[in-house]
Amino acid sequence: MPELPEVEVVRAGLEAHVAGRTVSKVEVLHPRAIRRHVLGAEDFTGRLAGVRVDAARRRGKYLWLELSGGEAVLAHLGMSGQMLVQPEGAPDEKHLRVRVRFADDGPELRFVDQRTFGGLALDELVTTDGEQLPGTIAHIARDPMDPRFDAAAAARALRSRRTEVKRALLDQTLVSGVGNIYADEALWRSKLHWARPTEKLTAAQGRALVAAATEVMDSSLQAGGTSFDALYVNVNGQSGYFARSLDAYGQEGLPCRRCGTAIRREPFMNRSSYSCPRCQPRPRSSR
């Protein structure tokens, strides 16, 4: 479940191993991996051949390879996507979806994705809010790691919604990069129940929530960065990565680190939300 810190580790790996290299040949092994590239696989592979990768960039959970010529390969890892840098000739992964070979005959880039929620697409770069972004993600808000992230504005945006606070926190047009795991962690740190109505959040609570989300992603990024293997860029299953210390997410039945009460799991949007019944009491207004 890659969220911002995981995607950032991947971006750094791509910057180190792919930037500056020229694409020679691209193979699409599963059409669903490029479903957001509307012109299809042939167009995708044809237009990539011969272009140079200038840089690897990221906003929220999206990352993209900036290409010579004003275009970019936009990527989202979805639930299970991985970007692997592998020597040519290494056995294909079971869920290999896209292979990118380079003119220098060095290691190839592989997009591997079991559940195929992720994907790649070629996209035009556009200027939005003083930033060059792939056009299809121009609506994605700045994330807390962005040098120009405005925490106060993000807190106001969250409070301006009329919904449950966790729904707002997961809305990538308000603050990007937060997924189910970090949302639960940020809410735990802020002592807020996920169903708290946004309109009842005080300004201080809004700011504290944004600060908590920033902190939890920051510390996770530091932990993830240290487990990064220079030989390849990996997202899932690497030790020290998802084994990061969590206070709420996935902790059902375990004692709250603050008060000792057993963490509970509740259904939320066809998935789960974890919280401490004592530190994060359910708001009276709902159920």
Partner DNA sequence: ATCGTCTCCTGTTCGC
Partner DNA sequence: TGCGAACAGGAGACGA
- Cβ closest to DNA, residue 10 vs residue 170: 170
Question: Is 2 designated active site?
Answer: yes
* Nearest distance from C-beta of residue 95 to DNA, angstroms: 7
Q: Which of 2, 5, 134, 144 is catalytic?
A: 2
Q: Which of 11, 47, 57, 61 is catalytic?
A: 61
* Nearest distance from C-beta of residue 221 to DNA, angstroms: 16
Question: Is 266 designated active site?
Answer: no
Question: Is 142 designated active site?
Answer: no
- Cβ closest to DNA, residue 62 vs residue 111: 62
- Cβ closest to DNA, residue 45 vs residue 198: 198
Q: In sequence order, what are the residues at sequence separation of 6 or more whose Cβ sits closer than 8 angstroms to the Cβ of residue 179? A: 1, 2, 3, 4, 61, 170
Q: Which of 3, 8, 15, 185 is catalytic?
A: 3
* Nearest distance from C-beta of residue 75 to DNA, angstroms: 11
| Amino acid (1-letter code) at residue 134 | P
* Nearest distance from C-beta of residue 14 to DNA, angstroms: 17
Residues of each annotated binding site for DNA: 95, 115, 161
Summarize as ranges the residues that interact with DNA (CB under 7 A).
1, 3, 32, 60-62, 76, 78-79, 94-95, 114-117, 136-137, 139, 161-164, 167, 170, 172, 179-181, 249, 265, 267, 269-272
Q: Which of 94, 148, 162, 271 is catalytic?
A: 271
Question: Is 61 designated active site?
Answer: yes
- Cβ closest to DNA, residue 27 vs residue 93: 93
Residues of each annotated binding site: 95, 115, 161
State the catalytic residues.
2-3, 61, 271
